[in-house]
Amino acid sequence: MTETLPPKTPQPDPAPKGEVTIEAVTHHGMGRTAEGTLVPRVLPGEVVTLAADGPKIVTPSPERVAPPCRHFKACGGCAMQHASDGFVAEWKADIVRTALRAQALDGEVARVETSPADSRRRARLAGRRTKKGALVGFHARASDTVIEVPGCRLLLPALTALIPALERIAMLAASRKGEAGLTVTDSEAGPDLHIDTDKPLTEELRLSLPEIAREAGLARLVWADEIVAELEPPMQRMGRARVVPPPGAFLQATAHGEAALLKCVRDAVAGAERIVDLFAGCGTFSLPLAERAEIHAVEGAAPMLAALDRGWRGAAGLKRVTTEARDLFRRPLLPDELARFDAAVIDPPRAGAQAQIEALAVSQIPVIAMVSCSPASFARDAKILVEQGYDMGPITVVDQFRWSPHVELATRFTRR
């Protein structure tokens, strides 16, 4: 559930001279030759000449397209803009199939839901001071160099329009030697900005930052762990409820991706009257599901549960929602605790939730809707459920991190 981007793309191997043929594309988006050489921005079947400034395409693949973003060659935010949408969708589906095969599982990928360009509502940008001012953008490939990305094709236009204001803030929060993390999230009231910096919050900053926030139209500005300015609550719509997430709280990367995952979960638990939502966060699934069922939301971070509870209490027409702050890695819900529910929803962090999955596997809960942001940990957890008597349904791949190696998915497990 935690929004962590995939590891940095490996650097290309030292290039042999002459022409080579690309045999495959790895799960990081790197082309691989028969000898194992890794080459960026290529596709299977292409013949390329390797050079110091990158590969030169001799024979292009029919799946090759012109990258839609002018920053693609330099920026590390995207890995696959040179490939057709159909190729990228099948590549991501195959990443899931490969992870399942590694666990001796045979799973069906029913479809791939791809978020449109210009739709990311949440992103972490890097800010660094320079001699002349500041740079704000994404990192270059396999590098700490910051690349400016005006006109980025990932982000909502409202977020790219914020970059000049972020540069002003980077001047205050970053240094020539150390960068600041700038996590910006779109909300109903305007952008919500969280600044990750080691610099202390001085009285001078307490006075200047709220003015910058007002001029930039920010709903909220948070410096490290302290809310410096909240001009309006940065509301997020979750079903019928409106929720103000705590600073830095998890949120699905695109509205399209959230809707796709929610549909999968709703379909999986349809008809259940009592549902436990494990790793519930601020209520992405709990609150919409409460329109038809009683929900018990379990999450390790108490501030997120408090936001969920306030959202539930302020919404009309929802069934009962209870919350429980609990570390599900150390204290998973046990089979006797799960016995009172008709269905479970689980959306764990990238590492998965082995302890909780093991408890679910030996419970008698009839239906489990699982959402994952890691095919590898999903396959490991799925194997545990299947070996204990659950059937895995068709998988929906949700591509919220368009053109990147990041893969999310959802499916249903039913007790045999």
Residue 133 has a CB neighbour count (10 Å cut-off) of 10
Average pLDDT score over residue span 30-51 = 94
Q: pLDDT tens for residues 255-301?
A: 999 999 999 999 999 999 999 999 999 999 999 999 999 999 999 99
Q: Which entry of 78, 152, 282, 373 is annotated as an active-site residue?
A: 373
For residue 392, what pLDDT band results from cuts at 50, 70 and 90?
Answer: very high
For residue 141, what pLDDT band results from cuts at 50, 70 and 90?
Answer: confident
Give the chain's mean pLDDT. 94
Radius of gyration of the chain (CA): 23
Percent of the chain with pLDDT over 70: 96
Average pLDDT score over residue span 46-59 = 90
Q: pLDDT tens for residues 67-80?
A: 999 999 999 999 99
Res. 3: pLDDT tops 80? no
The predicted structure's pLDDT at residue 11 = 53
Average pLDDT score over residue span 103-109 = 97
The predicted structure's pLDDT at residue 1 = 54
Which of 8-17, 237-246, 351-360 comes out lowest in average pLDDT? 8-17
Res. 54: pLDDT tops 90? no
The predicted structure's pLDDT at residue 17 = 58
CA distance 385 to 381: 7
Q: pLDDT tens for residues 289-302?
A: 999 999 999 999 99
Q: pLDDT tens for residues 324-372?
A: 999 999 999 999 999 999 999 999 999 999 999 999 999 999 999 999 9
The predicted structure's pLDDT at residue 148 = 94
- Strands 192-196, 220-223: pairing kind: parallel
Res. 10: pLDDT tops 60? no
The answer to whether 373 is a known catalytic residue is yes
